[in-house]
Amino acid sequence: MWKQSRTHLIVSTCLIFGLLFLDQSTKYLALTYLSNGNVIPLIPHFLSLRLLFNPGATLGFGSSETPLVALIEFLACVISLILDTRTKTILWTIAFNFAFAGSLGNLIDRIIYAHSFLNGSVVDFLDYGWSIGNIADIELTVAAVLIIYCIVFSIPLKNKDH
């Protein structure tokens, strides 16, 4: 059991740091190369790169309630970490790690780009035409898909031998 717990900790730590690095480094690149208003088309009529500071959540919901959105992101981080420490199943671990990294990535932005306490914006740069997001949003979407998959296919939080 100790070895599995140690392996779980190593996998979680590496995955979380890797996902956070990916999120924060792409936001840095967006700030560096898109701050002057540049729009870079990647896939015509589907995906381009455009910088936007979003004070709200998905699709701009909660734009006038930025501190509440930040609090929800903080709670999502705490809950994801707690659940991650209680699971021994790799898919649940990956799902909780993606949820934690995505929530923390956007929470970091809200703190760094705050106008006042927890009243900051998230750096978005992936423009889908109908929505604009970032890598943390993709991580949160992956987490949601994995959680739904685990629930639908009755994957337990812990293996039967634990």
Q: Read off the pLDDT of each residue in 135-143 and give the average, rounded to a whole number.
A: 97
Produce one character per residue of 9-36: b if its CB has 16 or more CB atoms within 10 Å, e if not: eeebeebbeebbebbbebbeebeeebee
Q: How far apart are CA 76 and CA 100, in angstroms?
A: 7
**Is residue 42 very low, low, confident or very high in pLDDT (cuts 50, 70, 90)?**
very high
**Catalytic: which of 84, 109, 127, 137?**
137
Half-sphere exposure of 30 toward its Cβ, with a 13 Å CA cutoff?
23
- Given a cut of 50, whether residue 110 has pLDDT beyond it is yes
Q: Read off the pLDDT of each residue in 98-119 and give the average, rounded to a whole number.
A: 89
Q: Read off the pLDDT of each residue in 13-22 and give the average, rounded to a whole number.
A: 97
- Residues forming beta bridges with residue 50, ordered by sequence position: 39
Q: Determine the pLDDT at residue 45.
A: 85
**Is residue 8 very low, low, confident or very high in pLDDT (cuts 50, 70, 90)?**
confident
**Catalytic: which of 84, 109, 124, 127?**
124
Mean pLDDT of the chain: 88
161 is catalytic: no
pLDDT tens per residue, range 67-81: 777 888 899 999 999
Q: Determine the pLDDT at residue 61.
A: 62
Domain assignments of the chain as residue spans, ordered by start = 2-152
109 is catalytic: no
Q: Give the other-Cβ count within 10 Å of 153's Cβ.
A: 8
